[in-house]
Structure 1
Amino acid sequence: MKAIFALRQAVVSQLKKSTPANPSPVTRAVGKASQDDTIWQKIHRSRFVRIAHPPIMLGVTVVSLTGIVGYRFYNQPQLSVGTESPYTIYAPKDGSFVDERTTEEKRKEVRAGTIPRLQRDSELTAQLKQQRSQYLDSINQLRYLAGTFPYLDTNTLTLEQQHLLRSLDEGEWRLLESYLNNGEPLPTASPQLAKLQQLFDQQKTANSPETIGVLLADIRAARERYSRVSTRLAELKADRQITNNQIAALMLDVPTWQTTQQTIIQVHDRILTQGLPAGITAPLLGETLQLHLRNILPPQAHRVAEDSLKNLLGDKYNLTVDKEATKNLAEKAVLAMETVKVSAEKNSVIVRAGETITQEQFVLLDGYGLSQRQVNWQGLLHTAGLVGGALVIFCGVSRRIHRPLRRRDHILLCMLSISTPILFLLDPIYNNLPAISLLTSSFYGPTLAITQVVLVGGLSAFAMESIVWEYLLAGGAAALLAGMIASKLRSRDELALLGLGVGTTQGVVYLFTYLIINASAVTIIWYTALPSAIVYGLVGLAWSAMAIGVSPYLERLFDVVTPTRLVELSNPNCPLLQRLAKEAPGTFQHTLFVACLAESAARELRCNVELVRTGTLYHDIGKMHDPLGFIENQMGGPNKHDEINDPYVSVDIIKKHVSEGLVMARKYGLPQVVRDFIPEHQGQMLISYFYIQAKEAAERAGEPPVDEGEFRYAGPIPQSRETGIVMLADSCEAALRSLGEANPETAMAMVNRIFKARWRDNQLQDSGLKYEELPIIADVFVRVWQQFHHQRIAYPKAALDVQVTSPSTTRF
Structure 2
Amino acid sequence: MSLLPYQGLKHFFSNRVVSRIILLLLAAVLSYAALIFPLALRPSYLPITVGNVAPQDIQAPSSLTYISEIQTEAARKDAERSIAPIYLPADPAIARQKMDDLRKTMGYITSIRMDQYATREQKSADLQALKNVKFEANETSSILDLSDERWDSIQQEALRVLEEVMRTTIRTDQIYEARQSVPSRISLAFSPASNTIISRLVEPHIEANSQFSEDRTRASVEQARNAVQPVSRSLLSGEIIVRRGQIVTPLIFETLEKFDLVKPKSGYTNYLAPAALIAIIAAFIVFYFIRRPISPINNWQGLLLVAGLFIIFLVLARFIVPNRTVFPYLFPMAAFGLTISCLFNFEVGLILSLALSIVASFGLSSTFDITLYYALTSIIGILILGKGMRISNFLYAAAGIGMTGCAIIIAYRLSPGSLDLIGLATLLGSAFINGLASASLALLFQYFFSQLLGTTTALQLLDLSRPDHPVMQFMLRNAPGSYQHSLQVANLAEQAAEAIGADVLLTRVGALYHDIGKAANPQFFIENQVTGKSNPHDDLTPEVSSATIIRHVSDGIQIARKNHLPPRIIDFIKEHHGTLLTRYQYARAIQESAGQIEQVNIEQFRYPGPRPCSRETALLMLADGCEARARAELPRSEVELRSLVKKVFDYLQQEGQLDQTSLTLRDLNVASDSFVSTLRNSYHPRIIYPEIKPPSSPTEPIIFLTPQEKFDLDNKSK
Which one of the candidate residues 36, 41, 46 is aligned to 1:70? 36
Shift of 1:567: 0.6
Counterpart-to-counterpart distance in 2, 1:396 and 1:753: 41
The equivalent of 2:515 in structure 1 is 620
Task: Judge conservation of contact 1:434–1:482 (CA < 8 Å) in 2.
Answer: yes
Shift of 1:593: 0.6
Shift of 1:712: 2.9
Shift of 1:395: 13
Alignment-mate amino acid for residue 534 of structure 2: P
Q: 3-state DSSP class of the match of 1:727?
A: helix
Shift of 1:442: 0.9
Counterpart-to-counterpart distance in 1, 2:671 and 2:359: 44
Counterpart-to-counterpart distance in 1, 2:522 and 2:614: 28
Task: Judge conservation of contact 1:76–1:376 (CA < 8 Å) in 2.
Answer: no
Counterpart-to-counterpart distance in 2, 1:383 and 1:802: 100
The equivalent of 1:271 in structure 2 is none
The equivalent of 1:643 in structure 2 is 539
Q: 3-state DSSP class of the match of 1:560?
A: coil
Shift of 1:423: 3.3
**Mapped pair 1:798 → 2:692:** yes
Which one of the candidate residues 493, 503, 511 is aligned to 2:410? 511
Deviations 1:42-88 (A, max 9, x none): xxx999999999999999877755553432389999x99xxxxxxxx
**Mapped pair 1:421 → 2:314:** yes
1:88-237 map, 5 Å: none
Tell me how many residue pairs correspond in the alignment. Answer: 472
Shift of 1:563: 0.9
Task: Judge conservation of contact 1:619–1:678 (CA < 8 Å) in 2.
Answer: yes
Q: 3-state DSSP class of the match of 1:571?
A: coil
Shift of 1:594: 0.4
Which one of the candidate residues 462, 471, 489 is aligned to 2:370? 471
**Mapped pair 1:654 → 2:620:** no
Task: Judge conservation of contact 1:592–1:617 (CA < 8 Å) in 2.
Answer: yes
Judging changes above 3 Å, is the alpha-carbon distance between structure 1 residues 56 and 443 closer, same or farther for their aligned structure 2 residues?
closer
**Higher helix proportion, which one?**
1
**Mapped pair 1:740 → 2:634:** yes
The equivalent of 2:332 in structure 1 is 432
Which one of the candidate residues 618, 621, 627 is aligned to 1:724? 618
Counterpart-to-counterpart distance in 2, 1:580 and 1:544: 36
Q: Which runs of 5+ in 2 are unaligned?
A: 1-5, 47-56, 60-237, 239-255, 322-327, 698-718
Counterpart-to-counterpart distance in 1, 2:467 and 2:693: 36
Judging changes above 3 Å, is the alpha-carbon distance between structure 1 residues 488 and 56 closer, same or farther for their aligned structure 2 residues?
closer
Which one of the candidate residues 663, 668, 671 is aligned to 1:777? 671
**Mapped pair 1:450 → 2:450:** no
The equivalent of 1:282 in structure 2 is none
Task: Judge conservation of contact 1:403–1:720 (CA < 8 Å) in 2.
Answer: no
Q: 3-state DSSP class of the match of 1:798?
A: strand
Task: Judge conservation of contact 2:39–2:315 (CA < 8 Å) in 1.
Answer: no
Counterpart-to-counterpart distance in 1, 2:25 and 2:438: 29
Task: Judge conservation of contact 1:559–1:671 (CA < 8 Å) in 2.
Answer: yes
**Mapped pair 1:498 → 2:393:** no
Alignment-mate amino acid for residue 511 of structure 1: I
Alignment-mate amino acid for residue 678 of structure 1: I
Task: Judge conservation of contact 1:75–1:374 (CA < 8 Å) in 2.
Answer: no
Shift of 1:728: 0.8
- Residues 708-717 or 599-608, more deviating: 708-717
Q: 3-state DSSP class of the match of 2:564?
A: coil
**Mapped pair 1:749 → 2:639:** no
Judging changes above 3 Å, is the alpha-carbon distance between structure 1 residues 75 and 460 closer, same or farther for their aligned structure 2 residues?
closer
Alignment-mate amino acid for residue 666 of structure 1: R
Counterpart-to-counterpart distance in 1, 2:606 and 2:625: 15
Counterpart-to-counterpart distance in 2, 1:712 and 1:391: 49
Task: Judge conservation of contact 2:26–2:307 (CA < 8 Å) in 1.
Answer: no
Q: 3-state DSSP class of the match of 1:439?
A: helix
Identity, % of aligned positions: 28
Task: Judge conservation of contact 2:517–2:553 (CA < 8 Å) in 1.
Answer: yes
Task: Judge conservation of contact 2:329–2:427 (CA < 8 Å) in 1.
Answer: no
Judging changes above 3 Å, is the alpha-carbon distance between structure 1 residues 531 and 436 closer, same or farther for their aligned structure 2 residues?
same
Judging changes above 3 Å, is the alpha-carbon distance between structure 1 residues 622 and 66 closer, same or farther for their aligned structure 2 residues?
farther
TM-score (ref. length: structure 1): 0.51
Counterpart-to-counterpart distance in 2, 1:550 and 1:56: 23
Structure index of larger Rg: 1
Counterpart-to-counterpart distance in 1, 2:275 and 2:11: 25
Task: Judge conservation of contact 2:297–2:344 (CA < 8 Å) in 1.
Answer: no
Task: Judge conservation of contact 1:431–1:475 (CA < 8 Å) in 2.
Answer: no
Shift of 1:391: 7.8
Deviations 1:203-227 (A, max 9, x none): xxxxxxxxxxxxxxxxxxxxxxxxx
TM-score (ref. length: structure 2): 0.57
Larger RCO, structures 1/2 (Cα 8 Å, 6+ apart): 1
Task: Judge conservation of contact 1:75–1:375 (CA < 8 Å) in 2.
Answer: no
- Residues 767-776 or 744-753, more deviating: 767-776
Counterpart-to-counterpart distance in 1, 2:360 and 2:601: 60
Task: Judge conservation of contact 1:397–1:448 (CA < 8 Å) in 2.
Answer: no
Which one of the candidate residues 670, 674, 681 is aligned to 1:787? 681
Task: Judge conservation of contact 1:594–1:726 (CA < 8 Å) in 2.
Answer: yes
Alignment-mate amino acid for residue 797 of structure 1: E
Judging changes above 3 Å, is the alpha-carbon distance between structure 1 residues 604 and 648 closer, same or farther for their aligned structure 2 residues?
same
Deviations 1:626-660 (A, max 9, x none): 2222222222332222211x332222222222222
Task: Judge conservation of contact 1:434–1:479 (CA < 8 Å) in 2.
Answer: yes
The equivalent of 1:460 in structure 2 is 360
Shift of 1:558: 4.4
Task: Judge conservation of contact 2:384–2:400 (CA < 8 Å) in 1.
Answer: no
Counterpart-to-counterpart distance in 1, 2:13 and 2:635: 58
The equivalent of 2:580 in structure 1 is 685
**Mapped pair 1:572 → 2:472:** no
Task: Judge conservation of contact 2:475–2:516 (CA < 8 Å) in 1.
Answer: yes
Q: 3-state DSSP class of the match of 2:578?
A: coil
Shift of 1:732: 0.5
**Mapped pair 1:761 → 2:627:** no
Q: 3-state DSSP class of the match of 2:431?
A: helix
Judging changes above 3 Å, is the alpha-carbon distance between structure 1 residues 430 and 532 closer, same or farther for their aligned structure 2 residues?
closer
The equivalent of 1:629 in structure 2 is 524
Judging changes above 3 Å, is the alpha-carbon distance between structure 1 residues 58 and 781 closer, same or farther for their aligned structure 2 residues?
closer
Q: Which runs of 5+ in 1 are unaligned?
A: 1-44, 81-90, 94-346, 348-364, 804-812
Deviations 1:653-712 (A, max 9, x none): 222222222222122111122111112222222332223333444564x57364544433
Task: Judge conservation of contact 1:684–1:715 (CA < 8 Å) in 2.
Answer: yes
Task: Judge conservation of contact 2:475–2:519 (CA < 8 Å) in 1.
Answer: yes
Counterpart-to-counterpart distance in 1, 2:293 and 2:30: 25
Q: 3-state DSSP class of the match of 1:661?
A: helix
Shift of 1:543: 1.8
The equivalent of 1:483 in structure 2 is 382
